[in-house]
Amino acid sequence: MIPSTFDYQVAESVDHAVELLGEAGPGAKLLAGGHSLIPMMKLRFARPTLLVDIARIGDLSYIRDAGDVIAIGACTRHHDLHHSSLLDEACPIVSHAAGLIGDPQVRHKGTIGGSVAHGDPASDLPAVLLALGAEFVLNGPGGSSRTVAASDFWTGVFETAAAPGEVLTEILVPKFGPAAGWSYLKFNRRAQDWGIVAVAAVVERSNGAIGSARVALANKGPTVLRAVAVEAALAVAGQKAIPGAAALAPEGTSPPSDTNATAEFRRHLAEVLVRRAVEASMGS
């Protein structure tokens, strides 16, 4: 289908993008890689009156060592995340998961900021960023800036805590300590698809046992979700409890049924993938 008519402006800076959004009002939308927004527009699920193109703002594309965290500019593309030696060393689950997104074309255009802001519960990077306890920096009118935790960011299907006039500018990812283990498992039919279910696990090991575990699920409800029952069971009983803890993975989820899988199959997949992901984290 052909999108409904819209105007188009190129933002030269974050302030300029905020200004353009403010002038145009709620009908305006930011355009980054366009790999989620343009398909939505073609289906007429989205009908923005103005697209503000932020993809050419060079200083929104970077991966930097910022002390305890890695700071990632919102317009950094999936391809660059995947090939970042800094991320590979300090937080390898991000570069690994970025390499599993779509196909090379998608990874060369799509951005981490677009993935976060789009709020698709099936997306890869949001699940990983939730498991990591990442933070998101939002810039708004009058030079305002605020930081929102990943756990507070996604509020519903394609809904986030970002206000209409705000631009997501930076993603802050905690660095792994020496005792951290991780795994990201994505179950799909074709390599380039979204996960039917995906699981991100980050485990802090203590003397070869589980110290603490953070587990996040994609495509198991209206937003990416923390598997809190699994985390609590692992905190109490440790490594021997992995199968029993994994059996709690469906708790608190409301997976969809669609052409790829029934909700029941997704519940089964979550249990299997959580067990494998936590076991792999202990060995990684």
Nearer to ligand FAD, 211 or 256 (CB): 256
Nearer to ligand FAD, 184 or 248 (CB): 184
Nearer to ligand FAD, 8 or 212 (CB): 8
What is the Cα 216 distance to its own chain's centre? 10
Q: How far is the CB of 111 from ligand FAD (least distance, A)?
A: 3
Note the residues at the interface with ligand FAD (CB under 6 A).
29-37, 39, 54, 74, 101-102, 106, 110-111, 113-115, 117-118, 123-124, 162, 167-168, 192-194
Q: How far is the CB of 122 from ligand FAD (least distance, A)?
A: 7
Q: How far is the CB of 126 from ligand FAD (least distance, A)?
A: 8
Q: How far is the CB of 75 from ligand FAD (least distance, A)?
A: 7
- Residue 9 bridge partners (DSSP): 52
Cβ density class 162-197: b for 16+ within 10 Å, e for less: beebbbbbbbbbbbbeeebbbbbbbbbeeeeebbbb
Nearer to ligand FAD, 105 or 206 (CB): 105
Nearer to ligand FAD, 113 or 233 (CB): 113
Nearer to ligand FAD, 75 or 249 (CB): 75
SS3 per-residue string spanning the chain: CCCCCCEEEECCCHHHHHHHHHHHHHHEEEECCCCCHHHHHHCCCCCCCEEEECCCCHHHCCEEEECCEEEEECCCEHHHHHCCHHHHHHCHHHHHHHCCCCCHHHHHHCEHHHHHHHCCCCCHHHHHHHHHCCEEEEECHHHCEEEEEHHHHEEECCEECCCCCCEEEEEEEECCCCCEEEEEEEECCCCCCCCCEEEEEEEEEECCEEEEEEEEEECCCCCCEECHHHHHHHHHHCHHHHHHHHCCCCCCCCCCCCCCCCHHHHHHHHHHHHHHHHHHHHHC
Q: How far is the CB of 177 from ligand FAD (least distance, A)?
A: 27
Nearer to ligand FAD, 158 or 265 (CB): 158
Q: How far is the CB of 216 from ligand FAD (least distance, A)?
A: 13
Q: How far is the CB of 240 from ligand FAD (least distance, A)?
A: 34
